[in-house]
Amino acid sequence: MGHFSTGTIIAIVVVVLILFGGRKIPELMKGLGNGIKEFKKATKEDEEDSKGNKENKE
């Protein structure tokens, strides 16, 4: 388990195309990309806050 054959990947792509259609997929990918950017930004801000708190304690 964990290894996908080419046939499995093609079947998944076909099902996604049937469910969402060709026009919706770019919108979904754009939303996914924006979500990843926001997550990275929040993580970076959290790390900066943590560093700031450590420096203030010393």
Express each pLDDT in 13-52 by its tens digit.
889 888 888 888 888 889 999 999 999 999 998 888 877 7
Q: What is the pLDDT of residue 56?
A: 59
Considering only CA atoms, which of 7, 12, 37, 38 is closest in space to residue 25?
Answer: 12
Q: What is the pLDDT of residue 16?
A: 86
Q: What is the pLDDT of residue 53?
A: 65
**Is the pLDDT reported for residue 55 higher than 70?**
no
Buried b / exposed e over 9-41, threshold 16 CB at 10 Å, is: eeeeeeeeeeeeeeeeeeeeeeeeeeeeeeeee
Q: Which amino acid is at 40?
A: K
Q: Rounded distance, CA 33 to CA 41, Å?
A: 12
pLDDT tier for residue 5 given thresholds of 50, 70 and 90: very high
Considering only CA atoms, which of 40, 15, 35 is closest in space to residue 25?
Answer: 15
